[in-house]
């Protein structure tokens, strides 16, 4: 059975070709902005999948990004395990407009089965513009 062990959204993802390790930068888990609509110029989605020995090794998954209940993006993502039982998929999203405060939900599916979901809030910032970052 195909299973997901990670689904995350970040400002940047790097894949080291020498070590085959990924580095994930600036995980997006809650966004506060001065106003809406909020425009994400680019961001990355990473998911890690595992398969059993009898599972197919190459297929497409469905990726959906929702704002509250409204679908903002729906696309397919190719998956190729090659000769492995684990694989990583990195998807770059080039531009996403979030119309109002709410919840962004990212969902990956294989056919009708939900593999994983990831959600974060988008909120209007209040109060002074100085922010404690610790």
Neighbouring-strand partners of residue 62: 76, 109
Neighbouring-strand partners of residue 98: 38
Q: Render pLDDT for 105-129 as a digit per residue (tens, 0 to 9).
A: 999 999 999 999 999 999 988 866 6
Q: Render pLDDT for 36-61 as a digit per residue (tens, 0 to 9).
A: 998 888 999 999 999 999 999 999 99
Q: Which two tokens stand for residue 26?
A: 């600036």
Cα(58)–Cα(60) distance, integer angstroms: 7
Helix (H) or strand (E) holding 61: strand 58-67
Domains belonging to the chain, first-starting first, are 3-124 (2.60.40.1930)
């Amino acid at each position: 059975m195909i299973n997901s062990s990670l689904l995350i959204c970040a400002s940047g993802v790097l894949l080291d070709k020498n070590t085959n390790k990924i580095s994930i930068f600036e995980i997006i888990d809650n966004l506060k902005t001065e106003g809406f609509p909020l425009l994400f110029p680019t961001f990355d989605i990473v998911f890690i999948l595992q398969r059993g020995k009898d599972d197919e090794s190459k297929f497409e998954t469905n990726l959906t990004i929702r704002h509250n209940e409204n679908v903002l993006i729906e696309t397919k993502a190719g998956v190729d395990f090659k000769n492995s039982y684990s694989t990583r998929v990195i998807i770059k999203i080039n531009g996403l407009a979030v119309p109002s405060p709410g919840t962004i939900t990212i969902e990956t599916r294989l056919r009708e089965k939900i593999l994983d979901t990831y959600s974060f809030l988008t909120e209007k910032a209040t109060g002074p513009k100085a922010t404690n970052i610790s």
